[in-house]
Chains A and B, each alone.
Chain A
Amino acid sequence: MNEVKRNFPDFPVIPFSSVTGEGLDEVRVLITNIYNSFGNSSSEEIIITNSRHLRSLRQAQTEISIAHEGMVCGSPLDVLASALRKASESLAEITGDEVSEKLIQEIFARFCVGK
């Protein structure tokens, strides 16, 4: 115990046991404090806890700005669609949706493509 304290002088050290429950409350308070120290998060905010999700969100953001820029300078619809599709796919990596199938359902629900 003392050795741990000596090796990590800048960190709080809390002895606890998940068997007896000793010190667990202190651990909870400490984690909450660390978390709150990252900024004034309210419960309204979305918290990203998974680095894969973070990557997907960043990817979606990039693609949406590509589509937005394209729209502003009058690029044809199919190049915008490509970026938007990738954005939805990135989001779908988090939600588990099947973009292609949903898109096709949407198309079929609205009109007949014909053979």
Chain B
Amino acid sequence: MKTENTTDCLNIYREENYDIAVIGAGHAGCEAALAAARLGMKTVVFTMNMDSVANMPCNPNIGGTAKGQLVREIDALGGEMGKAADATYIQSRMLNTSKGPAVLSPRAQIDRRAYQQYMKHALERQPGLHLRQAEIVDILCDEYPGITRKVRGVMSRNGALYECKAVIVTTGTYMESRIIIGETSYSGGPDGLFPSVGLSENLRKLGVGLLRFKTGTPVRINMKEIDIAGLEEQTADEYPCLFSFENEDDESFIGKEQKSCWVTWTTEETRRIIMDNIHRSPLFSGDIDGVGPRYCPSIEDKFVKFPQHGRHQIFIEPTGDTTEEMYVQGMSSSMPEDVQVRMLRTVPGLEKCRIMRSAYAIEYDCIVPTELKLTLEHKKVEGLFFAGQINGSSGYEEAAGQGLIAGINAVHTQLGRDPLILDRSQAYIGVLIDDLVTKGTPEPYRMMTSRAEYRLVLRQDNADERLTETGYKIGLISEERYGIYLDKAEKINEEVERLRKTVLKPDTKLNGLLQELGSTPVSSGTTLAALIKRPEISYSSLAAVDPLRKPLPRSVCFEAEVRIKYEGYIALENDRIEKFIRLEHKPIPENIDYDDLSGLRIEARQKLQKMRPLSVGQASRISGVSPADISVLLVYLEAQRKQGNR
């Protein structure tokens, strides 16, 4: 057995030993560390800066389309993000309310500092968890000849050696990061913080493949310098849509004072300034090699790539209750500072604004996620897990979801329990990890509802129904909370039953109401359920003709309504899922030799040999593996099975 040590630090000393070490206390690291410690592991989580725990260096919001669903799932599994957001939001809104139940997404503007404080405090209070400021520069492994490497510990820049059994790397955008503002560029992390230097080189030595991605953030400005007179105000919802199932019917959140966002637009002058200076943008001068996200282009990118749009929408968003600093969503840029300030002042309402923080682009190292197992453990290094932006994803919610799963699986591997792998029909978290691990990503990966095949079932409202049981079995959902969930589930079932069974007479009262609601009158007895199925009728609009209705929590009424309204479609979606699961649960033997499958095309054979999918379903999603290849694989597996039976 040979021990690798790639650090050349002079003062190496032994620190305490841990079961699990988490490198980075961003959104992925916090969830990973909390999950590991809550499951009884002695855990240490490292942050390079104690004041940047759970930082939001970009948009100060949690949730939004598809991301809101992720947060609800994290909460149902016993994660912290939803509770932290509920404790610190300054504006809450439900998005996509006109497009149907599957795409409804809660979104909250967050008091960024309060969120960090909340999360740091949660880490500090957690028994079994130690929060430590240190930069980890090396991951030490034992090497066994012929087999894979195995994690032994981590080393800090100051020479502290922490032995541990598993390491979860959650370094976000910090590894070898470079800040680019126009012609200026320097080594640096987000928000003026230090980059992580040396760790990625050491990962490379361990055989971990690296990519270079890029992202960016807009300027921050002072509210007192914004002229809101001509701007459109975007106010909060009257009833906040909370993320945590523990809070969803808690009336004490209602009436909390909330902040507004403001909408404005770029002008012809904005375009002129940008186009006149486009040669000074590093994105176009070739100074940036990293691949940026298509879904969140910089403002200069937007003017170049969407010439058909004369102007672009800008949202001015508050970043906290105790600050005047505002986030200018839609104006992310890597233009030089002098151009940034000039273009900013061409936007109505922002004419007198000064920049508090400059916009910048940031390039960083991330890993090739297809080298990971679905558990988020590296295929070549035992005990080495990765989660969050380092896996090529983007977004706080995507990071937190992966962190939670990596934390759970790092524990399960130690304890010899079954890994937690959520499939694409169970959760957006499952879609996220399967996409990253099975397909890889050519750019920072953002979750979208269109990535989920079964989104009618993967709704934000039923995340508890999908995942609480799992969270309870793992040990992250308390007995008490599980009881509350079961109680809610029973109430929903009872209400659905009652609505199905209650028949209304076609009297003048009912038909009067139906007419009022723009619906066709009825001539014979009709159930409440049949009426709720009509698109123009809602559960609440029938209150007047439903005297037996008991006062129920809002969440129960909502769920009962969705179940009845979309019954047929949900049943169809469940049929689709059943077909999907058949392939998904058809395992591929671990020792399969794809060279034995003569009918496979060469590309498919190479990809399968390299990726080694666990199931036929997973194999079918690898790019370069066609349905015809899958038929070949199925025939082969069937033949093997028959041979085995003989």
Contacts and interface: CB of A to CB of B under 8 A. Distances in A.
A75 B569 contact: yes
B26 to A, nearest CB: 15
Interface stretch (B185-193, B248-256, B446-454, B585-593): B446-454
A111 B312 CA distance: 10
Contacts of B362: none
A86 to B, nearest CB: 6
A15 interface: no
A103 B64 CA distance: 19
Contact of A114 (B99, B329, B566): B329
A108 B448 CA distance: 11
A107 B448 contact: yes
A86 B395 CA distance: 28
A115 B455 CA distance: 20
Contact of A78 (B296, B395, B455, B627): B455
Nearest to B102: A78
Contacts of B294: 108
A104 B296 contact: no
B7 to A, nearest CB: 35
Interface centre among B101, B395, B576 (most CB of A within 10 A): B576
B295 A114 contact: yes
A26 interface: no
B456 interface: yes
Contact of A104 (B330, B448, B627): B448
A114 B101 contact: no
A82 B575 CA distance: 12
B295 A113 contact: yes
B450 A100 contact: yes
Interface residues of A, number: 29
A77 B450 contact: no
A79 B446 contact: no
Chain B CB within 10 A, most for which of A75, A103, A111, A112:
A112
B416 interface: no
Contact of B627 (A77, A79, A96, A115): A96
A104 B451 contact: yes
Contacts of A82: 102, 454-456, 569, 572-573
Contact of B295 (A85, A94, A112): A112
B103 interface: yes
A49 to B, nearest CB: 13
A98 B59 CA distance: 31
A48 B536 CA distance: 43
A79 B623 CA distance: 27
Interface string B296-307: 110000100010
A28 interface: no
Contacts of B65: 113
Given A78-B455, A96-B627, A104-B448, A112 B100 contact: no
A43 to B, nearest CB: 25
Interface in A74-115: 74-79, 82-83, 85-86, 89, 93-94, 96, 98, 100, 103-104, 107-108, 111-115
Chain B's interface size range is: 35 or more
B99 A83 contact: no
Contacts of B395: 115
B391 to A, nearest CB: 17
Contacts of B450: 85, 100, 103-104, 107
Contacts of B413: none
Contacts of B116: none
B535 interface: yes
B100 A77 contact: yes
B448 A52 contact: no
B598 interface: no
Interface in B102-147: 102-103
Nearest to B620: A93
Contacts of B451: 100, 104
B535 A73 contact: yes
B535 A74 contact: yes
A24 interface: no
A96 B630 CA distance: 12
A106 to B, nearest CB: 9
A76 B296 CA distance: 27
Interface string B43-58: 0000000000000001
A52 B635 CA distance: 13
B526 interface: no
B631 interface: yes
B394 A115 contact: yes
A64 interface: no
Contacts of B103: 78
Nearest to A89: B453
Interface string B435-460: 00000000000101111011110000
Given A98-B623, A112-B295, A115-B296, A76 B100 contact: yes
B296 A113 contact: yes
B370 to A, nearest CB: 15
Interface in B524-560: 535-536
Contacts of B296: 112-115
Contacts of A73: 535
B109 to A, nearest CB: 13
Nearest to B449: A78
A112 B535 CA distance: 30
B234 to A, nearest CB: 14
Interface string A42-82: 00000000001000000000000010001001111111001
B428 to A, nearest CB: 14
A113 B395 CA distance: 12
B535 A78 contact: no
A-B pairs, 3 with minimum CB distance? A76-B100, A78-B100, A78-B102
8 contacts: A76-B535, A79-B566, A86-B453, A96-B627, A100-B451, A108-B294, A112-B330, A115-B293
Interface of B: 58-59, 64-65, 99-103, 293-297, 302, 306, 312, 329-330, 394-395, 446, 448-451, 453-456, 535-536, 566, 569, 572-573, 576, 623, 626-627, 631
Given A78-B100, A85-B453, A108-B294, 7 more contacts: A74-B535, A78-B99, A78-B102, A100-B450, A103-B450, A107-B450, A112-B296
